[in-house]
C-alpha cells in the first residue's frame, strides 16, 4: 500500500463466517497486538459486518462474506501487490 497511499503501509483483509466470528477475530487481533500498540481507531464493532482496526501503518479489515463481496476492497486496490494467505484452524 505504501506506493499507492501515504497513510498506511499494509491492508490486511480477513473474512469471518458471521458477525459473531468477525467480532472474535477482531478482538483476538487487538489482544495480540495490544502488547506492542493499541489501535488508533476501531470502527464497526457493533454491527460486526465490517470491522476496521487502524494501527496506522497496518489497517485490518474484518468482513463477513456478504460485506466483503459488497465492498470489494481487493478490486478497489487492484493495482497494489497482493499476498493471499489461507489460515485454517
d(CA 76, CA 70): 12
Q: In order of start, what are the domains of the chain with their CATH numbers? A: 10-76 (3.30.460.10)
User: Grid coordinates standing for 31?
Assistant: 489482544
Q: Which residue has the cell 468482513?
A: 63
How high is the pLDDT of residue 50?
A: 97
Per-residue model confidence as pLDDT tens for the chain (89 residues): 455 555 567 788 999 999 999 999 999 999 988 767 888 899 999 999 999 999 888 889 999 999 999 999 888 767 776 667 777 66
Provide the whole-model pTM: 0.81
Residue 11 near residue 73, CB atoms below 8 Å: yes
- DSSP line for 51-71: EEEE-SSEEEEEE-HHHHHHH
The DSSP H or E segment spanning 22 is: helix 19-33
How high is the pLDDT of residue 3?
A: 58
Say how many C-beta atoms besides its own lie within 10 A of residue 87's C-beta: 5
Amino acid at each position: 500500500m505504501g506506493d499507492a497511499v501515504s497513510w498506511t503501509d499494509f491492508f490486511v483483509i480477513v473474512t469471518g463466517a458471521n458477525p459473531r466470528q468477525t467480532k472474535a477475530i477482531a478482538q483476538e487481533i487487538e489482544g495480540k497486538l495490544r502488547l506492542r500498540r493499541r489501535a488508533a481507531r476501531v470502527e464497526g464493532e457493533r454491527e460486526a459486518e465490517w470491522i476496521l482496526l487502524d494501527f496506522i501503518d497496518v489497517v485490518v479489515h474484518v468482513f463477513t462474506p456478504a460485506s466483503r463481496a459488497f465492498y470489494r476492497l481487493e478490486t478497489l486496490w487492484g493495482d497494489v501487490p497482493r499476498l493471499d494467505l489461507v489460515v485454517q484452524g
